[in-house]
Amino acid sequence: MANDKVSIHGAWASRWVFILAATGSAVGLGNIWKFPYMTGLYGGGAFVAMYLVCIALVGLPIMLAETLIGRRGRQSPVNSMRSLAKESGGSRYWSVAAVIGMVAALLILSFYSVVAGWSLDYIIGMGQGNFSGISAEGAGAAFGGLTDNPWRLTLWHTLFMLGTGFVIAKGVVAGLERSLRIMMPMLFVLLLILLVYSFTTGHFMQGFHFLFHFDPSKVQGGILAAMGHAFFTLSVGVGSIMVYGSYMPKKSSIGATVLTVGLLDTLVALTAGLALFPIVFAAGLEPGGGPGLMFVTLPIAFGNVAFGQVMGLVFFVLVTLAAWSSSISMLEPAVAYFVERTGRSRTAVTSMLAVFCWVVGMGTVLSFNIGADAKFFVFANDGFHLFQWGAEGGKNFFEGIDYLTSRILLPIGGLAFAMFAGWVMTRDSVRDELSIKSPLLFNMALWLIRVVAPIGVLIVFVAELTK
């Protein structure tokens, strides 16, 4: 059965624009900021290995599933799943997964915007030459000075959220393509320049070893983190890729497209790791330094090379742009849904959702300073507390939202999307969407979606529960 419907929200001019948009969504703070610091926290090579396995066996099949659901449904994720379930006689409750995803995406945007704000602040810092000749202590103090100051964080968070809302209100198709075409290659070139610098630190092999030395004893500790990050970095599990898939032209192969996006994303993350860790070791910093890792190490690099200030400035501009092309994909599923549901304009819907994310994001802003003692998910001697002020363990607001989304909501969403594409949609409609000619390849793809990815998610959940 042919399916020539077009989404009311717009359509990409070609499959290349989808690749550009999906890569823009996938490549972001997850690659340059989060991947290195998670690798540092969860034991280096073991984490990287599990991350790569999760990308290949779980992340990519789910990305395939999301893209094909979106392209077949041609509506917001919630309504696409609802109508496809109807078409194939499945339960309409499958669309609950897309509702959860939509909320998860908004929660992610709330803290993402705060961190993207840090890189806005660093653009100014680099421009003013604040980091010239800076030491490791100096760089640490500069980062602390930023996160201690709620007003400065709020300013940048607000600006970034306005920027995200602005593009989404205009429509994704218009502004995105031209900027991404220039931005993504430039970001990669600058990462390569950083990589060359990290060669000169004399600690390159130590960094390499840290990233790729597999220590089996560290596997159990980071397995859910690795899977959560595989979802995060590919933008899957919430409907971001699904909504982009719904703007994809009919005549294009989904399989090759998804592979391209996944490879580019992985390449950027590994390059960022290879560029950062030698600097970490050369400066005598801890690899397990947490969320500040990139914001402390990069100024040291840029502060101590010729033209470092200019390169640093350009670099943080690109990081901000990469974050921005990701943040819009977090807003789009909800915007598409509420436009369909309420019939209001994109601008009105976007404004309301952006305000919501901004308010939640203030929790993250405060969790780095005056609200640092507000703890969530506390496992204490006297039992579990969802919230406790001043608790020893537990997670602050930022860590709590990150945990809830990456470790719980994204995997659940991804599991549901794969099951839906694999078991609820008819085999014929999946075949029609994927348009993979070789029966062998098609069966492999279907098997990954139906069996491997769901079992992978479940194994990791069980491994975590029995830890």
Nearest residue to ligand TRP on Cβ basis: 30
How near is the Cβ of 4 to ligand TRP at its closest, in Å? 28
Residues that bind ligand TRP (CB under 6 A): 25-26, 28-31, 105, 108, 232-233, 235, 238, 240, 326, 329-330
**φ/ψ (deg, to 5) at 374:** -75, 110
Spatial separation of the C-alpha atoms in residues 12 and 251, rounded to whole Å: 12
Spatial separation of the C-alpha atoms in residues 299 and 112, rounded to whole Å: 21
Residue number, 34 or 395, with CB nearest to ligand TRP:
34
Residue number, 55 or 434, with CB nearest to ligand TRP:
55
Give the three-state DSSP class for 166: helix
How near is the Cβ of 202 to ligand TRP at its closest, in Å? 30
Note every long-range contact of 400-407, with CB atoms under 8 Å and residues 24 or more positions apart, other chains counting: 400/376, 401/107, 401/108, 401/110, 401/111, 401/360, 401/363, 401/364, 402/111, 403/377, 404/107, 405/104, 405/107, 405/108, 405/232, 406/225, 406/228, 406/229, 406/231, 406/232, 407/224, 407/225, 407/228, 407/464
Residue number, 21 or 446, with CB nearest to ligand TRP:
21
Residue number, 65 or 283, with CB nearest to ligand TRP:
65
Residue number, 237 or 394, with CB nearest to ligand TRP:
237
Say what angle helices 308-342 and 346-367 make with each other, to 10 degrees.
130
How near is the Cβ of 206 to ligand TRP at its closest, in Å? 26
Spatial separation of the C-alpha atoms in residues 53 and 457, rounded to whole Å: 12
Q: Give the H/E segment covering residue 209.
A: helix 204-212
Burial of 393 (0-12, 13-18, 19+ CB in 10 A): exposed
How near is the Cβ of 466 to ligand TRP at its closest, in Å? 26
Report which of 146, 147, 140, 145 is spatially closest to residue 293, judged by C-alpha positions.
140
How near is the Cβ of 6 to ligand TRP at its closest, in Å? 23
Residue number, 41 or 105, with CB nearest to ligand TRP:
105
Residue number, 88 or 260, with CB nearest to ligand TRP:
260
How near is the Cβ of 24 to ligand TRP at its closest, in Å? 9
How near is the Cβ of 447 to ligand TRP at its closest, in Å? 25
